[in-house]
Amino acid sequence: MTERVKNMVSFVGRFALSAGLLVWVFSFINWRDTLVAMRHADRGLLLGAVAFHMAIQVAILFRWFFFMRALKLNASFGLTCRYFFIGLFCNLFLPTSIGGDLVKAIGLSRGVGQKPKVFASVVLDRLSGFAGLVIVAALAYAAGSSLIDAPSVVIPIVVLTLLSFVIGGMLFNQGLYHFFGRIVRRFPHVQKGILDMHRDVMLMKGKKRTGLGCIVLSCFIQGLGAVMYYLIARAMHQDVHFLPFLVFAPIVSAVTFLPSIGGLGVREIGWVYLLAKVGVGQGVALGLSLISFFFVIVTGLIGGVVYVTTVPHRRLQCDVQDAGAGSCLRAEP
């Protein structure tokens, strides 16, 4: 099977999963309740939620730029901004919610010529984001577990916490790194991925202040996300407490890493399941998820405009060696 066929099969599989999950959600939810809740939403509060969504994107952009400065990447802020928004555009249709990372890394590396450091900055940015996600979810649940009528919610938090310790130990501790390397030696692609991430992390050696600062910024970003979702819920006339959103938003962000198209389907199931624990109806929860996805589409379309107007010949050519899995974004000139 050729690489192109594998990519096509992978895309079709992820598309089918997203579509199947959406059909399943709509099969047991009265979608008319969703439409009514969305139609009568407070527009002023929704505009506030949009503002927070944009603030989140700006904060993530600066977090990535901070890592680039720490790695002494010779990239202007304008160039960084360009490929950041192009990555948001590609997230709309590439596998998982992080598919655009690959595109922005390839594009920026071609612009600055420091490919290892560019990919390192993207990996480090994602790792710091994951760390902030786990920290906020764990602390918020510890503070507000009495507000959430579901002990089962602690399960994804424990899984994410354990996963963060495993990843952190694997990447930062030499002994654990070699241990995991031996375990996966029968899987060359996995072993290479671990090796590449370990090398990326080592580029930040001696720059702990930047790393810790970016983790703090990641926690702040998760807080902004919780406020955004809280405003959407209030706009839909839901009398809910803010604290559960500090728990739920990071969990939903984590599940969008699962194979899908831009997190579609898994995001909706996540919100429907979690918001039921604080008394929010399924139709309203689905509406909240769809509204937040609309925000994602808006910022993605901004990236599409940037892509069309700034990338030479309006295309990013496929580079199998850069892409690792052979993924690419292509458009006709």
CB atoms within 10 A of CB 309: 9
Average of pLDDT values for 165-187?
Answer: 75
pLDDT of 40 higher than 70: yes
Model confidence at 313, in pLDDT bands (50, 70, 90)? low
Domain presence at residue 9 = no
pLDDT of 328 higher than 60: no
Alpha helices in the chain (DSSP H): 3-28, 31-39, 43-70, 77-90, 99-112, 115-144, 154-172, 174-183, 188-202, 208-235, 243-255, 266-275, 282-310, 320-323
Domain presence at residue 259 = yes
Highest mean pLDDT among 18-27, 56-65, 275-284: 56-65
Q: Rounded CA gap, 288 and 154, in Å?
A: 22
Q: Rounded CA gap, 300 and 106, in Å?
A: 18
Contact indicator for 268, 25 with CB cutoff of 8 Å: yes
Q: Rounded CA gap, 117 and 72, in Å?
A: 8
Model confidence at 90, in pLDDT bands (50, 70, 90)? confident
Helix axes 154-172, 115-144, angle to 10 degrees: 150
pLDDT of 175 higher than 80: no
Domain presence at residue 333 = no
Mean pLDDT of the chain: 82
Domain presence at residue 1 = no
| Cβ-count burial 36-69 (b if 16+ within 10 Å, e if not) | ebbeebeeebbebbbebbbbbbeebbbbbbbbbe
Domain presence at residue 22 = yes
Residue 128: per-residue pLDDT: 92
| Domains: count for the chain | 1
pLDDT of 26 higher than 80: no
pLDDT of 204 higher than 60: yes
Domain presence at residue 331 = no
pLDDT of 74 higher than 70: yes
Model confidence at 7, in pLDDT bands (50, 70, 90)? low
Contact indicator for 332, 308 with CB cutoff of 8 Å: no
pLDDT of 10 higher than 80: no
Amino acid at 151: P
pLDDT of 136 higher than 90: yes
Domain presence at residue 3 = no
Give the pTM.
0.84
Lowest mean pLDDT among 90-94, 217-221, 308-312, 318-322: 318-322
The token pair that represents 223 in the structure block: 């807080």
Domain presence at residue 5 = no
pLDDT of 200 higher than 70: yes
pLDDT of 299 higher than 80: yes
Contact indicator for 286, 269 with CB cutoff of 8 Å: no
Q: Give the domain range for residue 213.
A: 14-322
pLDDT of 309 higher than 80: yes
